[in-house]
Chains A and B, each alone.
Chain A
């Protein structure tokens, strides 16, 4: 067995242990602010090494097939590490502002959750997949409720997330057990071979439905999105941001591994289920978002809607579609991170409501401009990354719909395009608050150094992905030929 394959995971584990011991060694009550910088630096180094090294040649497995190291996993590793880097930077000052007592635990969990997601993307077997998924979920349950004692809703959100998450895990596990009973294998490759000739028995359909539902929870598709608004609202903002991008990306990895790879031959079965959920998502998330007053709840519904767009590529299932999913996930990562970073800075002293953004263009023109870029990118407006990302996804959907004659997919893309106009309304409302409404408070919003670095990185990527996406596309094409 080649242990080199799991070097990135080991590196992240090492970082986690480092944080753990640094926390132990620091005297009680001392500031643990520097741990945020340690995490950020650690993630940055691992990320840089990964980006510099070439893609793994062909899929190689470790631990008897439990672990796959391939280029797809590598792309996801880059995604998770970027998100973790930005989340650490955002946390440095956010934790102090909220007076979180468990900074050591916070950063340790942050690293462990990242490790779990990396393992998730590399899982080659339903068993390792499930273990990684639980490790990831448990870490997030604790992170979401880390404001315990400071904020009442925090514990509530943690419990809610835990219960709903447990139900989703149960669905998934039940689906897996049926699959194992039918096929006699847990390995994803084995399932792919088996599903080629599998009869469409009711048991198989039930298993696929259960698995799809469990995964839909992870990426928060309607009707499995109920946890999102409460959790997003109550969690510390850097965790909300991290959850909204990294956890969703982990869900995408699972969808690609399980549905698009292992059960590709049964696409005709699960895609209908997914398409129904997409249609519901476009309607429900976009319409309910119109009524939100709390910024983080608004962003929660927005991110539910964004998950719907991502599903276009998953349902198309073509190489182009999967590339589009990865590209959009990347754009979405930087965009959402930027938006949440601004929200966090504004809500340190101001209101977490939409009205807290009032007059931001006068108070801090730079922050307002970054938020403008982020929001327009989410709305799919050029020249920002979200535009090209959406265009790419829609193109993949239209290609598959038109050339393979999947009329329903085509109709769904058309519906998605139309509903994106509804979403533009609430994004414009955010812009309206910042630029049109006057503010009572004229003082500039403080933006500490860590936040500035994170915002700068995000803004750069939002623009690069929008104006000159070619290098990133080439990189993705190498990963997904």
Chain B
């Protein structure tokens, strides 16, 4: 075991830096603030790389780098960090998005200090959630990660930003209210009372949670997390929120926070209440199917670039949820890989949209056109990300979507076969909206004369895009190390689900 508390360091690096900037750096020293933010997120990224190197891949299903000390023993509250394969992958995703998000905000001028402070607090909180294995700390950090969104969108957003910010915050907090109840029920339902995720899992395997209990509390927990994962019909905060948010916030939100919801669905709802999961899986699958199809049709109908991407996120998150709902190793592997792939892809999209908007000051497709002539780098990157979006082999989304569809199709259940077939139709709509965006925005004649004056991406802007696309291609071409991580992490889930009489 490692003596150095690396997981604490990863989440505290941005979090504490944020607090320090807030306390000690005056807001006139914006350059210093930017460099500090970059340094903190870079430190997390480096530590994550080191974590990847130290991780024992043979034991990806077990908790590694564990740190624990008791906070409130009488209520089972404990600071318990650790990482298994799935956590590790999510930490990698978050450190990539946070680092690139800071870079994508480099040009920010308005109230820069507060922006970077909130961004760092948010990013730090997310790291904490992905590595917490005590439900209290998990839940507390979950809220810490969600709340800065209110100010980030409310202050730096565009369009109906105050409405969007309020809607997003209240819906997500509403979801977390249900989580709180579910967590308390789990605590008092287990003997001895515990909030430790693995202890609770043992309690579930030992049959401490009766089927009635599980059927009652599974939807509470799954829907509570489902709000953040944009499960239909609880997704309505997502298009408004993503469209109003500033670039880096959209990146973090669609790239990482939505994954937090899906991660919670897997790690808490399914892992701790397996019988409930079996009971409710068909309903979840149907809702996820609506997500997939409705999201892609919705995206095809939008004209604002951010709304297109937001609806496409709804659709892609539907694939994640469908994969989870199969309760099958293949499908769940796909779901977790899709969480990662979608995070990288949508982060790229929002970064590129931010750059485009920063130049043209509009995101409406009818007003755009021919931008590839003046900004070839952005256009090329957008094409690559778009191809990932429609699942082109060689890019990271392809293996993920393939596994989800295969997982759903190869379950024993006819029902899931039908769902898989219907879900496949979304590919057509996805192709439609992706190609339409590319054609209207980047190709064709230049619609406005002043677009000819616009420049291509600067060096600072190119770095995040290059990083994200590199990861996208690497995972797309050779996904097996990532799949090994996921598969290892899913062993425990599969054992839990398999332990039940069907």
- Identify the A interface with B (CB < 8 A): 361, 369, 376, 381-383, 387-388, 391-392, 394-395, 398-399, 402-403, 413-414, 417-418, 420-421, 424-425, 428, 431-432, 435-436, 468-470, 473, 477
Contact = CB atoms under 8 A, between A and B. Distances in A.
A425 B154 contact: no
Contact of A418 (B71, B114, B177, B184): B177
B174 A421 contact: yes
9 contacts: A382-B140, A382-B144, A391-B180, A394-B180, A398-B181, A402-B189, A403-B188, A417-B180, A417-B181
Contacts of B483: none
Contact of A435 (B147, B155, B166, B173): B155
Nearest to A388: B72
A366 to B, nearest CB: 10
Contact of A383 (B140, B181, B184, B187): B140
B162 A383 contact: no
B72 A395 contact: no
B170 interface: yes
A35 B144 CA distance: 42
B69 to A, nearest CB: 11
Contacts of A425: 166, 170
Contacts, number: 79
Contacts of B139: 382
A392 B75 contact: yes
Contact of A382 (B22, B73, B141, B185): B141
Nearest to A419: B177
Residue with the greatest number of chain A CB neighbours at <10 A, chosen from B22, B139, B173: B173
A212 to B, nearest CB: 27
Contacts of B188: 395, 398-399, 402-403
Nearest to A474: B74
B456 interface: no
B75 A395 contact: yes
Interface string B160-191: 00100010011001100110110011011100
Interface residues of B, number: 33
B166 A361 contact: no
Interface of B: 22, 71-75, 114, 136, 139-141, 143-144, 147, 150-151, 154-155, 162, 166, 169-170, 173-174, 177-178, 180-181, 184-185, 187-189
B111 to A, nearest CB: 8
Contacts of A432: 154, 162, 166
A473 B140 contact: no
Contact of A473 (B74, B114, B174): B74
Nearest to B141: A382
Given A399-B188, A417-B181, A424-B170, A436 B140 contact: no
B185 A436 contact: no
Nearest to B187: A395
Given A387-B140, A391-B180, A398 B185 contact: yes
Given A391-B180, A398-B188, A424-B169, A381 B72 contact: no
B169 A428 contact: yes
Given A361-B114, A470-B72, A473-B72, A421 B180 contact: no
Contacts of A387: 140, 143
Nearest to A418: B177
Nearest to B147: A381
Contact of A381 (B136, B143, B189): B143
Contact of B150 (A421, A428, A473): A428
A392 B184 CA distance: 10
A175 to B, nearest CB: 35
Contacts of B166: 425, 428, 432
A477 B166 CA distance: 39
A376 B174 CA distance: 15
A392 B22 CA distance: 30
Nearest to A324: B75
Which 3 residue pairs across A and B have the least CB separation, nearest first? Answer: A382-B140, A398-B184, A417-B177
A472 to B, nearest CB: 10
Residue with the greatest number of chain A CB neighbours at <10 A, chosen from B71, B73, B75, B173: B75
Residue with the greatest number of chain A CB neighbours at <10 A, chosen from B71, B174, B184: B184
Contacts of A361: 114
B180 A402 contact: no
Nearest to B184: A398
B187 to A, nearest CB: 7
Contacts of B136: 391
B143 A468 contact: no
A477 B74 contact: yes
B245 to A, nearest CB: 14
A421 B173 CA distance: 7
A470 B71 contact: yes
Nearest to A429: B166
A394 B143 contact: no
A398 B182 CA distance: 10
A395 B195 CA distance: 12
Contacts of A395: 75, 184, 187-188
A375 to B, nearest CB: 11
Contacts of A417: 177-178, 180-181
Contact of B151 (A398, A421, A436): A436
B162 A436 contact: yes
Contacts of A477: 74
Given A382-B143, A402-B188, A425-B166, A435 B151 contact: yes
B87 to A, nearest CB: 20
Contact of A421 (B72, B162, B170): B170
B177 A420 contact: yes
Contacts of B184: 394-395, 398
A296 to B, nearest CB: 23
Contacts of B162: 432, 436
Contacts of B174: 418, 421
A290 B146 CA distance: 22
A207 to B, nearest CB: 35
A395 B76 CA distance: 11
A398 B217 CA distance: 13
Contacts of B141: 382
Nearest to B151: A435
Nearest to B177: A417
Contact of B71 (A382, A402, A414, A468): A468
Contacts of B187: 395, 398
Contacts of A376: 147
A2 B151 CA distance: 58
Contact of A413 (B140, B178, B181): B181
